[in-house]
Amino acid sequence: AEGYMQILSEVVRDTQDDPNQSFGVAPHSLRAINHPLLEEVLTATKNDNAPVHIHIAEQAQEVEGCLAQAGKRPVQWLLRNFDVNNRWCLIHATHMTDTEAVELARSGAVAGLCPTTEANLGDGFFNMPPFLLNGGAFGIGSDSQISVSPVEELRWLEYGQRLQQQARNVLAGDGRSSGRFLFERAVDGGAQACGRRTGRIEAGNRADFIVINTAHPLLHGRQGDALLDSWIFSGNACLVRDVYVGGQRVVQNQVHVHEQQILANFKTAINQLKN
Chain-centre distance for alpha carbon 143 = 9
**242 is known as an active-site residue:** no
Is the per-residue pLDDT at 48 higher than 90? no
Q: How sure is the predictor about 92, in pLDDT bands with cuts at 50, 70 and 90?
A: very high
Name beta bridge partners: 209.
Answer: 244
Residues with Cβ < 8 Å from 67, sequence gap 6 or more? 73
Tell me, what's the pLDDT at 104?
98
Q: What is the per-residue pLDDT across 169-197, written as a single tens digit (0 to 9) for each?
A: 999 988 899 999 999 999 999 999 999 99
DSSP structure class, residue 234 = S
Is the per-residue pLDDT at 160 higher than 90? yes
For the chain, the residue count is 275
Average pLDDT in the 54-69 region? 96
C-alpha–C-alpha distance, residues 143 and 90, integer Å: 12
> In the chain, what percentage of residues exceed pLDDT 90?
89
Average pLDDT in the 136-146 region? 93
Q: What is the per-residue pLDDT across 115-129, written as a single tens digit (0 to 9) for each?
A: 999 999 999 999 999
Is the per-residue pLDDT at 275 higher than 90? no
Check: CB of residue 112 under 8 Å from CB of residue 92.
yes
Tell me, what's the pLDDT at 49?
83
C-alpha–C-alpha distance, residues 122 and 61, integer Å: 12
C-alpha–C-alpha distance, residues 157 and 271, integer Å: 34
Query: What strands lie across the sheet with 248-252, from one edge to the other?
Result: 209-212, 240-245, 248-252, 255-256
Cα separations (Å) of 232 from 33, 128, 174?
A: 37, 19, 18
Tell me, what's the pLDDT at 236?
83
Check: CB of residue 85 under 8 Å from CB of residue 115.
no
Tell me, what's the pLDDT at 47?
83
C-alpha–C-alpha distance, residues 141 and 145, integer Å: 9
Residues with Cβ < 8 Å from 251, sequence gap 6 or more? 240, 242, 243, 257
Alpha helices in the chain (DSSP H): 2-15, 35-44, 60-70, 74-81, 98-107, 115-120, 128-133, 150-165, 178-194, 224-233, 259-274
Tell me, what's the pLDDT at 217?
95
C-alpha–C-alpha distance, residues 252 and 271, integer Å: 28
Check: CB of residue 125 under 8 Å from CB of residue 160.
yes
The identity of residue 122, as a single letter, is G
Average pLDDT in the 220-229 region? 95
Q: How sure is the predictor about 154, in pLDDT bands with cuts at 50, 70 and 90?
A: very high
Measured in degrees and rounded to the nearest 5, phi and psi for residue 134 equal: -110, 25
**35 is known as an active-site residue:** no
Measured in degrees and rounded to the nearest 5, phi and psi for residue 190 equal: -65, -40
Given the residues 53, 95, 123, 143, the one annotated as active site: 143
Is the per-residue pLDDT at 101 higher than 90? yes
Tell me, what's the pLDDT at 257?
97
C-alpha–C-alpha distance, residues 163 and 39, integer Å: 39
Tell me, what's the pLDDT at 46?
85
Residue 113: enclosing H or E segment and its boundaries?
A: strand 110-113
Check: CB of residue 223 under 8 Å from CB of residue 207.
no
Does the model's pTM come out above 0.85? yes
Among residues 120, 161, 163, the alpha carbon closest in space to that of 138 is found at 161
Tell me, what's the pLDDT at 171?
94
Is the per-residue pLDDT at 89 higher than 90? yes
Average pLDDT in the 54-58 region? 97
Tell me, what's the pLDDT at 98?
98
